Structure 1
Amino acid sequence: MGFTSRSVNLSWAPSLSSHGSPISHYIIHTRSQVIETFPTSSQVPLDPSPFSPVGEEGEWDVQNALVTLTNATSSQVIGLLPYTVYSFRVVAINSLGPSTPSRESYYMVTLREGTIFT
């Protein structure tokens, strides 16, 4: 998985079974969480239990899903936000309909974008 501040290149294994109907294309769902500025040591709570792991409670963005044009098992996702945590999952589509979503990807963080001072 290669990535920049605003894009990521994804690849995945093809479905083990397409139930006799070839895969026509895939749908990629995203889940994200913007990273807040890390607090100073005096602001870090002693009991971290009220904080959930990044993104695990977030909703999958299925309304803005990326639809691939072919059955290729790789795609570039563009239009991401800098310094944001993302996870992805894939749904295969064939004449029988959509598959169940894949396991989600590992979380990744897009790169920061900085201001260039001259």
Structure 2
Amino acid sequence: MAESESNRPIEIEPTCAADDHGITEDQLLRLEDCHRAAAMFSALGDPNRLRLLGLLIGREMCVTEISSILNDNLPAVSQRLKLLRSERIVSHRREGKHVFYRLDDEHVVALIRNALEHAGHE
């Protein structure tokens, strides 16, 4: 029985080869950096953590303030901050028995602002 046109495998010729682009090894992203960035994006992938980070744009706040403003319980806020600290998204300082948190650096501020701005863009 003859093979019909629709059952015949389509032959596709490659349009380019990997070496056509002239990409050198040092132009590739380091896998370790990609893993760290992915972990950071994972930490940012929670709406409650993003709301918390939004509070910290341009200011430093203690856990109690954050908890009160977000109307959330203190242990939950502390756990979120612990995770965000582990990914170097927030940093902290202790003053007596109060711990104050802030966004770690301008890269993080820009990342949060860009993500929130992009999310609100129609």
- Fold shared by both chains (TM-score > 0.5): no
Structure showing greater Rg: 2
TM-score band w.r.t. shorter chain = under 0.3
More strand by share: 1
The TM-score normalised by the length of structure 1 is 0.24
More helix by share: 2
The TM-score normalised by the length of structure 2 is 0.23
Tell which has more relative contact order, 1 or 2 (C-alpha 8 A, sep 6+): 1
